[in-house]
Structure 1
Amino acid sequence: MSGQRELGNFLQTRRAQLRPEDVGLPDYGDRRRVPGLRREELALLAGVSSSYYTRLEQGQSVGASPEVLDAIARALHLDEAEQRHLHDLAGSVKRRTVVHRPPAEHVDATTFNLLEAFGDVPALVSGRRSDVLAWNRMGHALFASHIDPAGPADPGNRPNLARLIFLDPHTRALYADWPSKARAVVENLRMTAGRHPDDALLTSLVGELTMKSPEFAAMWADHGVSPCDSAVYEMHHPLVGSLTVTQQSLRPPQDEERHIVLAVAEPGSPSEAALRLLAQATAPPALLERPADHV
């Protein structure tokens, strides 16, 4: 991914979303050839010259200071995630990036033990590119019961959450509001791409999804960014029916690349009962046995 092109496209899409009245500028009712603010209007709000801002959007300037970027972020009304993304993109333009194939991701024994400690709470570990690096029994049962539970153990063929969401009909059918889930996946992937423009596997994934899914291509073109920290989703599970869970993303200490994703239902709710039913239905026979002296 070209850092200069990505930076320019991000600025253009954000500028196109602002109207003069949104930022306190007069609107004289003139017809605009393109939506949103003009470049010179944005430059005025940011306190930079129009020519400088134009060069920045066109990828002809690589020396934007943090102060200038902050001023542009304020002018564009960027939120915290978008501001971080802007700085990530500008940083990738400054340094000369060499696309390389990164080593396979792995999960240490401590994280495996943590997954098991969650018990009947569905949990999985997602890597930098949304590969499933590991999951507990309930994580597999809730999110991808139709695929091989041993899949995450093979680095070359791990399930990928983005591929599942956009290309797998079973996963798509899990979510009552599929567009909301899909957009969250894309916006989180955008943030990762801004931090790692030299990741060849990530570039390949984005290219694959763009070619195979028009919906992904359209969402990617919006340049939206947002971390997948916490969201409530209604799910339609083929075994236990409808349930509503909060999908919470946690980061292991000193690790921004991997996330532990949990699915938690409200205590005492029908959704919690559905998760208990799923745990019973998918439990290995040994877990269902009761010692004779307990009968």
Structure 2
Amino acid sequence: MARPTPHTTLGKFLAARRAAVAPHEVGLPAVGSPRRVPGLRREEVALLAKVSVEYYTRLEQGRVSSASPAVLAALAGALRLNADQTAYVHQLGSINSKEGGPESPRCPNTLPARVHSRTRVLLDSLTGSPAVLLDRSMDILAWNSLASALFLDFGTVPTEHRNHLRMVFLEPRVRQLYRDWEHTAGKCVARLRMEAAHEPHPPRLAALVDELSAVDGDFRRHWARHDVRAITHGRNHFAHPLAGPLTLDWQALRVAMAPQQTLVVYTPPPGDAGTHSGLEFLASWSSAPSREAPEGPGQSGYPAG
């Protein structure tokens, strides 16, 4: 199967967004109703963005090697994109320009990510909060003992399977843990798409998407939506087999010394006595120091920065 390029990814995203916009939402009459396909026609998007139909068609088909910021901004306005979607389009467009076309060669970086010793110390110091360290492919690079108590013992998971997105979809223990699984799964996929725009040919991410697409219908359904979001915080509801119901807020914090790594920290909402008690119970028998994924080829497609 041919690997997607930034050109084809951008084209598919534009097509998906076009299908999601009704003519009346952008002030166009719904002529030709009922329409053969939902949303706007290509010529209507071209009209709204003030570009030629031929150019927009080639862009959607992945046959344009670059698009100017002005054109991308016009398309974002025509398709009523939100801030995250607009940033995603501009990121893919800038990769297009730098790559110089879909056949431009690129040698992927396959060096494993490394976790700084100070980041490990920080993880160990978070004794009251589960915390995991992720890269842009959502591989789990390191974690503290309370995170293992909340989710599962990450050290028992094979390195190539130690990925948050993969566990959300394919690991029954993690999938059953989320009371809001459908919501969580959609946000994870949207975040992965957003992160993928920063790297034109991520080998680890491509392999992950291929695997999940082949074996899980729920993943295929979410991936086909082309949702993108720069998710930095949220709230999850868990049904833990030992600690019972838990409600945890989380924040995704970029590591300044390794910008391609993100520290995700879970904290109970203020005043939630049940969740506080549940975490205290989990912490009482999970006092081991943080563990780090062993370094080796294939663990991560990104360097630590």
TM-score norm. by structure 1 comes to: 0.89
Structure 1: distance between partners of 2:161 and 2:123: 17
Paired residues for 1:87-98 under 5 Å = 87-94=90-97, 95=99, 96-98=104-106
SS for the counterpart of 2:266 is strand
Structure 2: distance between partners of 1:131 and 1:157: 9
Q: How far off is 1:179 after superposition?
A: 0.9
Distance 1:99 1:187, change over 3 A: farther
Structure 1: distance between partners of 2:67 and 2:270: 50
Q: Which letter does structure 2 place at the counterpart of 1:241?
A: G
Alignment correspondent of 1:267? 270
Q: Which letter does structure 2 place at the counterpart of 1:148?
A: G
> CA offsets per residue over residues 72-126 of structure 1, 9 Å max, x none?
1111111121112112222333312525252101110111111122222111101
Alignment correspondent of 2:35? 32
Alignment correspondent of 1:44? 47
> CA offsets per residue over residues 6-28 of structure 1, 9 Å max, x none?
11100000000000111122224
Structure 1: distance between partners of 2:161 and 2:240: 22
Greater helix fraction, Structure 1 or Structure 2: 1
Alignment correspondent of 1:148? 155
User: Given that residues 99 and 199 in structure 1 are in contact (C-alpha distance below 8 angstroms), is that contact kept between their aligned partners in structure 2?
Assistant: no
Structure 2: distance between partners of 1:157 and 1:46: 44
Moved more, 120-129 or 164-173: 120-129
SS for the counterpart of 1:261 is strand
Structure 1: distance between partners of 2:110 and 2:81: 31
User: Is 2:238 aligned against 1:231?
Assistant: no
Distance 1:184 1:197, change over 3 A: same
Paired residue total: 279
Alignment correspondent of 1:135? 143
User: Given that residues 191 and 225 in structure 1 are in contact (C-alpha distance below 8 angstroms), is that contact kept between their aligned partners in structure 2?
Assistant: yes
Distance 1:120 1:79, change over 3 A: same
Alignment correspondent of 1:55? 58
Alignment correspondent of 2:188? 185
Q: In percent, how many aligned pairs have the same letter?
A: 38
User: Is 2:120 aligned against 1:117?
Assistant: no
Q: How far off is 1:253 after superposition?
A: 1.6
Alignment correspondent of 1:6? 9
- Structure of greater relative contact order (alpha carbons < 8 Å, 6+ residues apart): 2
> CA offsets per residue over residues 12-59 of structure 1, 9 Å max, x none?
000000001111222246221110011111111112122211111112
Structure 1: distance between partners of 2:38 and 2:213: 25
Alignment correspondent of 1:100? 108
Distance 1:203 1:25, change over 3 A: same
User: Given that residues 101 and 201 in structure 1 are in contact (C-alpha distance below 8 angstroms), is that contact kept between their aligned partners in structure 2?
Assistant: no
User: Is 2:73 aligned against 1:70?
Assistant: yes
User: Given that residues 191 and 230 in structure 2 are in contact (C-alpha distance below 8 angstroms), is that contact kept between their aligned partners in structure 1?
Assistant: yes
User: Given that residues 20 and 39 in structure 2 are in contact (C-alpha distance below 8 angstroms), is that contact kept between their aligned partners in structure 1?
Assistant: yes
SS for the counterpart of 2:260 is coil
User: Given that residues 127 and 283 in structure 2 are in contact (C-alpha distance below 8 angstroms), is that contact kept between their aligned partners in structure 1?
Assistant: no
Distance 1:174 1:253, change over 3 A: same
Structure 2: distance between partners of 1:125 and 1:24: 46
User: Given that residues 64 and 90 in structure 1 are in contact (C-alpha distance below 8 angstroms), is that contact kept between their aligned partners in structure 2?
Assistant: yes
User: Given that residues 15 and 76 in structure 1 are in contact (C-alpha distance below 8 angstroms), is that contact kept between their aligned partners in structure 2?
Assistant: yes
SS for the counterpart of 2:197 is helix
Q: How far off is 1:128 after superposition?
A: 1.8
Structure 2: distance between partners of 1:256 and 1:222: 28
Structure 2: distance between partners of 1:219 and 1:89: 20
User: Given that residues 126 and 261 in structure 1 are in contact (C-alpha distance below 8 angstroms), is that contact kept between their aligned partners in structure 2?
Assistant: yes
Moved more, 70-79 or 164-173: 70-79
SS for the counterpart of 2:92 is helix
Q: Which runs of 5 or more structure 2 residues have no equivalent in the other structure?
A: 289-305
Q: Which letter does structure 1 place at the counterpart of 2:12?
A: N
Structure 2: distance between partners of 1:77 and 1:128: 27
Structure 2: distance between partners of 1:2 and 1:214: 23
Q: Which letter does structure 1 place at the counterpart of 2:29?
A: P
Distance 1:157 1:40, change over 3 A: closer
User: Given that residues 13 and 226 in structure 2 are in contact (C-alpha distance below 8 angstroms), is that contact kept between their aligned partners in structure 1?
Assistant: yes
